[in-house]
């Protein structure tokens, strides 16, 4: 197998994004391709994978059943990761820098090497610095024919409106959790309980679920749950030490999209934990629990907390997640979250049971 080939997926192999793919296929039938697309959706649901399949689709010399043939030269180059007219940009560290956009603009000044279309994929476009975004606008304003730019973004509101308005938006939906769970059981041999926990916690992101399935996610999650339950009994100093631990775990992580490690993951785990507590508190159906494997502990904890304080904690964690996504200072965001949650639980009795 050639390098990169194992990661490539054709349209028909991508699950849960039939609607987005349907729109992309139609464009080719009309032979009038927008020069810029905005692929919108949470990380890990197939935006980049679909962009790659689309690059193959538009460059294929003999499309079969609304998909690239997989046999012609451009198809094989794209699948093998050595197609000369494919540009990919992703954050260099925490941001997409102006140098990266300038380099892209230089590439656009040249003719295509061999492809019918040059395809440029920019992942996490919201991470462009202001300078980079402004430089990029020029590219979008005067597009050379034969170029297709695909921007991947979680939330279009985080982009310049002038960028958004120049792109055709395509929405990528989170997958239903039973679809993710079934996939994990069939392809990763996960037991049903673990598959169900991952499917729900990943909120319909197969990519995220997969990453979690492949590392020591369950151990870390257990630790994170233990920590939030012990906050009430800790001194503020100890609570802040916990924050530092999380932030340091982040620094050790891969950088870039760290939605499955570090601080972002702690927040996700905690939010699902509080959602579960609220669900039990209002006597909602237990089959909607995220953390099904901790249902007894959840029940014990829920008794000691009020609906009001649970809602407050959920909103707080929600805000913290958004702040982290927008690259605010992680340590400050986490300190605020931890201390406020600690305060909310105060006087509600010992919840660490």
The contact set with Zn ion (CB under 5 A) reads: 60, 68-69, 72, 75
Extended strands (E) in 123-205: 147-153, 168-171
In the complex, minimum distance from the CB of residue 122 to Zn ion, in angstroms, rounded to a whole number: 24
Q: Decide: helix, strand or coil at residue 40.
A: strand
In the complex, minimum distance from the CB of residue 87 to Zn ion, in angstroms, rounded to a whole number: 20
Tokens of 139: 């590219």
Tokens of 3: 């390098």
Q: Which of 244, 249, 298 lies closest to 270 in space, CA to CA?
A: 298
**Smaller CB separation from Zn ion, 78 or 150:** 78
Q: Which helix (H) or strand (E) holds 27?
A: helix 18-30
In the complex, minimum distance from the CB of residue 116 to Zn ion, in angstroms, rounded to a whole number: 11
**Smaller CB separation from Zn ion, 78 or 209:** 78
Q: How far apart are CA 247 and CA 320, in angstroms?
A: 14
In the complex, minimum distance from the CB of residue 148 to Zn ion, in angstroms, rounded to a whole number: 17
Under a CB-based contact definition with an 8 Å cutoff, are residues 27 and 33 in contact? yes
**Smaller CB separation from Zn ion, 16 or 68:** 68
Q: How far apart are CA 106 and CA 204, in angstroms?
A: 38
**Smaller CB separation from Zn ion, 14 or 75:** 75
Q: How far apart are CA 206 and CA 210, in angstroms?
A: 6
In the complex, minimum distance from the CB of residue 149 to Zn ion, in angstroms, rounded to a whole number: 22
Under a CB-based contact definition with an 8 Å cutoff, are residues 118 and 146 in contact? yes
In the complex, minimum distance from the CB of residue 51 to Zn ion, in angstroms, rounded to a whole number: 17
**Smaller CB separation from Zn ion, 69 or 292:** 69
**Smaller CB separation from Zn ion, 76 or 173:** 76
**Smaller CB separation from Zn ion, 64 or 244:** 64
**Smaller CB separation from Zn ion, 55 or 264:** 55
Buried b (16+ CB within 10 A) or exposed e, 99-127: ebbeebeeebeeebeebebbbbbbbbbbb
10 Å Cβ neighbour count for 241? Answer: 11
Q: How far apart are CA 25 and CA 7, in angstroms?
A: 21
**Smaller CB separation from Zn ion, 60 or 149:** 60
Tokens of 295: 């249902």
**Smaller CB separation from Zn ion, 60 or 150:** 60
Q: How far apart are CA 307 and CA 348, in angstroms?
A: 12
Under a CB-based contact definition with an 8 Å cutoff, are residues 154 and 42 in contact? yes
Q: How far apart are CA 121 and CA 118, in angstroms?
A: 10
In the complex, minimum distance from the CB of residue 60 to Zn ion, in angstroms, rounded to a whole number: 3
Q: Which residues partner with 88 through β-bridges?
A: 121
In the complex, minimum distance from the CB of residue 28 to Zn ion, in angstroms, rounded to a whole number: 13
Place of tokens 């996960």: 190
In the complex, minimum distance from the CB of residue 56 to Zn ion, in angstroms, rounded to a whole number: 7
In the complex, minimum distance from the CB of residue 8 to Zn ion, in angstroms, rounded to a whole number: 12
Q: How far apart are CA 257 and CA 261, in angstroms?
A: 9
Under a CB-based contact definition with an 8 Å cutoff, are residues 133 and 159 in contact? yes
């Amino acid at each position: 197998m050639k390098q990169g080939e194992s990661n490539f997926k054709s349209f028909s192999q991508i699950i849960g994004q039939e609607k987005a793919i349907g729109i992309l296929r139609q464009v080719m039938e009309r032979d009038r391709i927008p020069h810029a697309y905005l692929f919108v959706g949470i990380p890990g649901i197939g935006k980049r994978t679909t962009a790659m399949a689309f690059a193959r689709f538009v460059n294929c010399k003999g499309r079969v059943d609304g998909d690239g043939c997989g046999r012609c030269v451009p198809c094989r180059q794209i699948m093998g990761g050595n197609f000369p007219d494919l540009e990919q940009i992703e954050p260099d560290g925490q941001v997409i820098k102006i140098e990266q956009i300038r380099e892209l603009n230089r590439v656009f000044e040249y003719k295509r090497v061999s492809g019918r279309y040059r395809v440029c994929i920019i992942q996490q476009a919201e991470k462009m610095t202001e300078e980079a975004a402004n430089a990029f606008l020029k590219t979008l304003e005067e597009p050379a024919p034969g170029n297709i730019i695909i921007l991947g973004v979680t939330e279009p509101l985080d982009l310049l409106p002038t960028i958004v308005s120049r792109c055709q938006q395509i929405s990528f939906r989170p997958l239903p959790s039973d679809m993710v769970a079934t996939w994990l059981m069939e392809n990763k041999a996960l037991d049903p309980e673990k598959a169900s926990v991952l499917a729900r916690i990943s909120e319909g992101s197969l990519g995220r679920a997969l990453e979690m399935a492949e590392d020591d996610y369950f151990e870390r999650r257990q630790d994170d749950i233990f920590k939030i339950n012990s906050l009430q009994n800790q001194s503020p100093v100890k609570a802040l030490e916990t924050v530092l631990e999380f932030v340091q775990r982040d620094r050790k992580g891969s950088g870039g999209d760290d939605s499955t490690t570090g601080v972002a993951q702690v927040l996700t785990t905690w939010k699902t934990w509080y959602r579960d507590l609220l669900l039990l508190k209002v006597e909602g159906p237990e089959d909607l629990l995220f953390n099904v494997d901790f249902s007894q502990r959840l029940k014990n904890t829920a008794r000691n907390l009020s609906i009001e304080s649970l809602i407050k904690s959920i909103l707080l964690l929600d805000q913290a997640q958004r702040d982290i996504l927008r690259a605010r200072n992680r340590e400050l965001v986490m300190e605020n979250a931890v201390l406020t949650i600690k305060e909310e639980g105060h006087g509600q009795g010992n919840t660490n049971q």
